[in-house]
A and B are shown apart, each in its own frame.
Chain A
Amino acid sequence: MSEAAAVKDTPIEHAHQGFLKTYIFSTDHKMIAKQFLLLGLVMLMLGGGLVMLLRWQLAYPDKPLPLIGISETYMETGETETAMDRYWDEQFSKPEKEQSWIATRMPAGVISPNFYNTLFTMHATIMIFFVVMPILVGCFGNFLIPLMIGTRDMAFPVLNMLSFWVAVVSGVIILIGFFVPGGHAATGWTAYPPLSADPTWTGVDWGQNLWCFSLIFLGISSMMGSINYITTIINMRAPGMTFMRLPLTIWSLFIVAILLLLALPVLTSALAMLLFDRMAGTSFFNASGGGDPLLWQHLFWFFGHPEVYVLILPAMGIGSEILSVFSRKPIFGYHAMVYAMVSIAGLGWIVWGHHMFQSGMNPALGTTFMISTMVIAVPSAIKTFNWLGTLWGGNIQFTVPMLNALAFVSMFVIGGLSGIYMASTPVDIFIHDTYYIVAHIHYVVFGGSLFGIFAAITFWFPKMFGRMLGSKLGKIHFWITFAAFNCTFFPMHILGVGGHMRRIANPLQYEFLQQFEGLNIFITMSAFTLGMAQLIFIFNVFYSMFKGKKAEDNPWKANTVEWTAATPPPHGNFAEIPTIYHGPYEYNAPGIDEDYLPQTSQATIATDGNGKQ
């Protein structure tokens, strides 16, 4: 790689800077990565907290919440029994405008229908845009790209810093939305107009506007990040780091950056049109003014489907990485894995219509989108088979990152298979907009992306923080999460098959859903357990950050370049820019004494293997 070799190696000297430059307005990709991680983990707790309230309502519709709700005595007799009763008594005696934040959203501790809509809207918005994207793309993109390709930092460090701080601005805007009169956005994360286009239909005014502004800012942040990632990967690879020697994690992040670069402007323009409809009286999405509500759906899902792959591709890359390391074996079908990701990135642009089979779009298009959707399942299947191939004949170590990566693979298989039901247009007529979809998306985004996040954090924690993550707590967290996850989301398939609509606040209003009351309670209990288990993880991360065992440079005996850097890597990462001699997954190569072969090692592999690298 002549152009990579030509990159000037200028060691970074300003390693010692003030507090502000080191921790707040840092231009070091590793610090920015940690900032994104912190943002993601804080938002994870918020997004998870919201859904606990939501699950309460679904299990015990219109019943007061425990602890903050009114007591039964108060309900029956009007006598105040608890401190909360007295609180509610006082709130109800005030005019509505002076009531507290809680009282206007959950009067007497009962979740109001509009607040319920806010809960699922903000749960999804936060989890997708402020948890999975910041952690998988923001944190691990930043941390891993320079370290894994063997360079000192991102191509544009200042742009990188800006990207994070614009994401913070976006996060602050979305948080402010919770406190504006009228409440936060309540039209689902998909925000279909006309519902979202006119405050009359929801009573939500500034909440929805701020939602739009926040996502526009987040789009700008992602744009800055993706330009940086693409430039860095193309131009700054260490000498010898050819594209086909890139770790699959870097391949996945490279493809994700391209998807983000092309998809987000579409969302940004759609959001701008929505804001114009809301605030300037235009009619892009308003039929009575000559617009078309379906236009939004086309624009949103043209962004939305590549976005789904933005959420899952990095987890696929990370999963491949970890599977290979802990099977002590080269990844099976490296080239097939790369081509599968590339074809997902291509096909991802022509499947958006499968979200719109029942939308009123011309049904002839349904068939077209069904075929393209069936085809895009193929690369995912290829990846799954290759993961199995990687395990085959290995020497499998069940470390915490490996457990999470294996959970990622198996849960992604369920999420992938359940997708086939929806791809078949006649079956989709029935299961569209039911809990079947909710089950599917959570198997992909929690089972896939979030287990990918757990795997990534536990795997790279030693390199990020210089300490080992507690493996006992890690295993406890993993097993509770794995069990509670399946107890929470698998039964949702059954709800969906029974016709249980999504986004309804009270299933007991329907005769045909009465039979699911018990199942809903079970799901809620599992969801509470799942939520609680994440506190173990958060505790483990922060405890190990300061009190964990000191980590060696390469605790997992892995091949990729980041493990040759000091722990934690200093400003500028490497004492000297490394030269790359091997592919990333040469484990147990013939003629090598150890069971791993760092990409920077000059040792040669005996040629009796069938490898091409």
Chain B
Amino acid sequence: MLDWLPPSISTVGGEIDKFFYVIYYITTVVFFLVAGTMIYFLIRYRYKEGREVKYTHGNTTLEIIWTVVTLVALIVLALVSKPLWSKIKQELPPSSTVVQVTGKQFNWEILYPGPDGMFGTEDDYQIDNLLHVPVNQVVHIKLKALDVIHSFFVPVLRLKQDALPGREIMMWFEANKPGEYEIPCAELCGFGHSGMLGKLIVHSAEDYDAWVKSTWPEN
């Protein structure tokens, strides 16, 4: 099943995948243990006229063991998940590149602040659905929504964040492989939800400079 994961091109993608693998291996083992035990019991104790049945109402020691083991395993999983979650969603590593992305029915409106680095000035550049970013650099996204809730989803970055009308949500990513990738909307946003699709263009350092030069030629 793991082969189906899309390639990961972000600095945190590999770490998320690692958690995925760990949970995958644990749950697969647990499943086969439970299913195997069940199938064994079903065969071993299938109906036979006059079979001696174990008359028991349970076993307190067993109950305590499997409760505590499950509880500890799950709490540990939660605790080890926490730092990565905080790193992705609660921390904001410094960056000089910030882009505003606004979800609207049914496009991603991308706003670049231009060379002055400030939104709302004359050198802002706005375009639908094309998100240009440099490779190997932290990029900040200021996420907004115009009308209804959308969800900014980049499978290869393992990044997803709902865009809410009335709020600005800051998030970040660092792509480590140039290329063109899809940005679908992951939250139902109306009849055009299917097909609401932006494009993430991760440029190599030179390409990014070239794109900046062609977009703001006078600077």
**Which residues in B have some Cβ–Cβ distance to A below 8 Å?**
1-2, 4-6, 15-16, 19-20, 23-24, 26-27, 30-31, 34-35, 37-38, 41-42, 45-48, 51, 53-59, 62-63, 66-67, 70-71, 74-75, 77-78, 81-82, 84-86, 88-90, 105, 147-149, 151, 153, 155, 158-167, 169, 182, 184-195, 197
Closest residue to A376 on the B side, CB-wise? B74
Closest residue to A422 on the B side, CB-wise? B23
| Contacting residues of chain A (186-243) with chain B, CB-CB under 8 angstroms | 186-188, 192, 194-195, 201-203
A132-B39 Cα distance, complex, nearest whole Å:
28
Closest residue to B158 on the A side, CB-wise? A430
Interface contact B45-A396, CB-CB below 8 Å: yes
Interface contact B53-A393, CB-CB below 8 Å: yes
Interface contact A497-B2, CB-CB below 8 Å: yes
Interface contact A329-B167, CB-CB below 8 Å: no
Instruction: Give the size range of A's interface with the partner.
Output: 35 or more
| Minimum C-beta distance from A418 to chain B (A) | 7
Q: Is A55 an interface residue (CB 8 A)?
A: no
Q: Using Cβ atoms and an 8 Å threshold, which residues of chain B touch A613?
A: 57
Q: Using Cβ atoms and an 8 Å threshold, which residues of chain B touch A512?
A: 6, 155, 182
Interface contact B57-A612, CB-CB below 8 Å: yes
Interface contact A332-B162, CB-CB below 8 Å: no
B-binding segment of A1-9, A88-96, A167-175, A588-596: A588-596
Q: Using Cβ atoms and an 8 Å threshold, which residues of chain A touch B192?
A: 113
Interface contact A388-B191, CB-CB below 8 Å: no
| Minimum C-beta distance from A592 to chain B (A) | 10
Interface contact A330-B56, CB-CB below 8 Å: yes
Q: Using Cβ atoms and an 8 Å threshold, which residues of chain B touch A363?
A: 85-86, 89-90
Q: Using Cβ atoms and an 8 Å threshold, which residues of chain A touch B56?
A: 329-330, 332, 393, 609-611
| Minimum C-beta distance from A444 to chain B (A) | 15
Closest residue to A511 on the B side, CB-wise? B182
Interface contact B45-A506, CB-CB below 8 Å: no
Interface contact A329-B188, CB-CB below 8 Å: no
Q: List 17 A-B contacts (CB under 8 A).
A: A186-B191, A202-B190, A330-B55, A360-B164, A374-B74, A374-B77, A382-B67, A417-B27, A424-B81, A425-B89, A432-B186, A433-B186, A433-B187, A494-B4, A509-B197, A511-B182, A595-B53
Q: Using Cβ atoms and an 8 Å threshold, which residues of chain B touch A386?
A: 58, 63
Q: Using Cβ atoms and an 8 Å threshold, which residues of chain B touch A418?
A: 27
| Minimum C-beta distance from B26 to chain A (A) | 8
A587-B164 Cα distance, complex, nearest whole Å:
57
The answer, among A382, A396, A497, A511, for a CB contact under 8 Å with B63, is A382
Interface contact B162-A360, CB-CB below 8 Å: yes
Q: Using Cβ atoms and an 8 Å threshold, which residues of chain B touch A371?
A: 75, 78
A398-B46 Cα distance, complex, nearest whole Å:
8
Q: Using Cβ atoms and an 8 Å threshold, which residues of chain B touch A203?
A: 191
Interface contact A394-B5, CB-CB below 8 Å: no
The answer, among A335, A367, A392, for a CB contact under 8 Å with B54, is A392
Q: Is A359 an interface residue (CB 8 A)?
A: yes
Closest residue to B159 on the A side, CB-wise? A429
Q: Using Cβ atoms and an 8 Å threshold, which residues of chain A touch B169?
A: 360
Q: Using Cβ atoms and an 8 Å threshold, which residues of chain A touch B35?
A: 410, 413
Q: Using Cβ atoms and an 8 Å threshold, which residues of chain B touch A280?
A: none
